[in-house]
Amino acid sequence: EYCPGGYHPLTFGEWLHQGRYFCTRKLGWGQFSTVWLAWDNLEKRFVALKVIKSAQQYADVARDEMRLLVEVRRHHSQEGIIGADRVVQMLDSFTLTGPNGNHQCMVFDVLGVTLLKLIAESDYKGIPLTHVRQVIRQVLEGLHYLHAVCGVIHCDIKPENILLATTQDQVRRLAAEAFDLVESGRSLPASFTCSCSLALRRRRSLCFWDKVRYSILGPEDVGLPAHLKDDNDMRRQLLVAADPLGPSSVVIADLGNACYIDNHFSDEIQTRQYRCYEVLIGGEYGPSADIWSVACVAYELATGRFLFSAQANEHGSVTENHLAAIDALLGPVPKHIALSGHLSRRIYMHDGQLRPDLKQASTSIEKLLMKESGMDATEAGKFSDFLKYLLDLDWKKRPSAYEALQHPWLKN
């Protein structure tokens, strides 16, 4: 996808934006962008550069994302605001011109691994409840800031979009690894750079890089511990090894699908498994759509499984089966709620009852937690109380992020 309209090829040693940012290595990529670890030579700190694909449709989406990020940053300096540091902040933005066209670039704090990675690390068994509580509290604080202070709905809360915060020291190690490889004369692996370019091509001014290395990484040896040196999955090791949830905190990222509370961009929002009831039935939604997703994330963090993961089958479509699963777990749905969306009549009959062919055996979150995750009854009871509080089928009655933060399960 490094082609006209697509990603911009970057590699170690490039200076961007009139010599302000020094590019070291790739941190990740998404549907719209590649994300690079760079040194900000003005602020003397590491940053993440998100470089958007150049085609017009990506540039348009990025402009919406940037407008929302500016809104989110505008309120950041207000004093005494809860949750401002739990949402990613855009530090700068600029346009980059390259062989594939013009690319919007956004500059962020460097973040660590995603919660999805932590769930995978647990072998999909889930992380300890004390950590779930800590993460969910922080996510709700971030949402309080987005909803109540900025007037923004995230619209895509899921484990992939919640990242661990990092320290500049951890990040220096990631950069040091790129310097080490280049200086030892080896080319950077494709995961560090774009596959079509070789760092070696740019080796001609190594002594210049020595100076850069010195100014960026400092005089002390920031080389990696020997046992990590040969490990391919360095990033994971570095960021997950030392009890990532001990002092550390999480940040809500990717405002690429967000909208304003009073100006929605789409009727269909959220990634399927985290999609709230009202959006599934084609009804109205508000900030509490994000709260539904938080419950889905909390369950998944604790158990390693999706709370709702419907599939299409001979009985119904994915959405129909998803709604049937919600009915089995949280139903019966009151008639006025069941019939409140423009898709309601496909799933419910005129009296508000679910179509009989869609019916699934009813169960409860508490039972799922005990049966599928082996949680003891007391713990399952308290945790499911919290989840059910967030999963109110009536989006207008669902708690706000601030109200959710007062729930006894989080006070524990």
Spot the catalytic one: 156, 254, 290, 392.
Answer: 156
Of residues 83 and 316, the one with the C-beta less far from ligand ADP? 83
Which range binds Mg ion by CB under 5 A, 10-18, 35-43, 92-100, 248-256? 248-256
Q: Which does 7 bind (CB under 5 to 8 A by kind): ligand ADP, Mg ion, none?
A: none
Which range binds Mg ion by CB under 5 A, 30-38, 199-207, 224-232, 353-361? 30-38
Shortest CB 178 distance to Mg ion, Å: 23
Give the C-alpha separation, 198 to 181, whole Å: 12
Shortest CB 111 distance to Mg ion, Å: 12
Shortest CB 304 distance to Mg ion, Å: 21
Of 398, 393, 281, give the one whose Cα is nearest residue 329: 393
Of residues 101 and 159, the one with the C-beta less far from Mg ion? 159
Of residues 50 and 103, the one with the C-beta less far from ligand ADP? 50
Shortest CB 148 distance to Mg ion, Å: 25
Q: Which does 77 bind (CB under 5 to 8 A by kind): Mg ion, ligand ADP, none?
A: none
Shortest CB 28 distance to ligand ADP, Å: 3
Please identify the residue of the shown chain whose CB is closest to the bound Mg ion. 30
Mapped to the 3 state alphabet, what secondary structure does the chain carry? CCCCCCCCCCCCCCEECCCCEEEEEEEEECCCEEEEEEEECCCCEEEEEEEECCCHHHHHHHHHHHHHHHHHHHCCCCCCCCCHHHECCEEEEEEEEECCEEEEEEEECCEEEEHHHHHHHCCCCCCCHHHHHHHHHHHHHHHHHHHHHHCEECCCCCHHHEEEECCHHHHHHHHHHHHHHHHCCCCCCHHHCCCCCCHHHHHHHHHHHHHHHHHHHCCCCCCCCHHHHCCCCHHHHHHHCCCCCCCCCEEECCCCCCEECCECCCCCCCCHHHCCHHHHCCCCCCCHHHHHHHHHHHHHHHHCCCCCCCCCCCCCCHHHHHHHHHHHHHCCCCHHHHCCCCCHHHHECCCCCECHHHCCCCCCHHHHHHHHHCCCHHHHHHHHHHHHHHCCCCCCCCCCHHHHHCCHHHHC
Please identify the residue of the shown chain whose CB is closest to the bound ligand ADP. 30
Q: Which does 143 bind (CB under 5 to 8 A by kind): Mg ion, ligand ADP, none?
A: none
Shortest CB 135 distance to ligand ADP, Å: 17
- Binding residue per annotation — 50? yes
Residues that bind ligand ADP (CB under 6 A): 27-33, 35, 48, 50, 108-111, 253-254, 256
Query: Is residue 65 near Mg ion by the rule CB under 5 A?
Result: no
Is 156 part of the annotated catalytic residue set?
A: yes
Burial zone of 294 (CB within 10 Å; 0-12 exposed, 13-18 middle, 19+ buried): buried
Of residues 163 and 354, the one with the C-beta less far from ligand ADP? 163
Shortest CB 30 distance to Mg ion, Å: 4
8 Å CB contact between 312 and 318:
yes
> What is the number of other CB atoms lying within 10 angstroms of the CB of residue 22?
21
Of residues 172 and 335, the one with the C-beta less far from ligand ADP? 172
Give the C-alpha separation, 170 to 222, whole Å: 10
Give the C-alpha separation, 13 to 182, whole Å: 10
Of residues 51 and 326, the one with the C-beta less far from ligand ADP? 51
Of residues 153 and 253, the one with the C-beta less far from ligand ADP? 253
Query: Is residue 254 near Mg ion by the rule CB under 5 A?
Result: yes
Which residues carry a binding-site annotation? 50
Which residues carry a binding-site annotation for ATP? 50
Query: What is the contact surface with Mg ion in residues (CB under 5 A)?
Result: 30, 254
Which residues are identified as catalytic?
Answer: 156
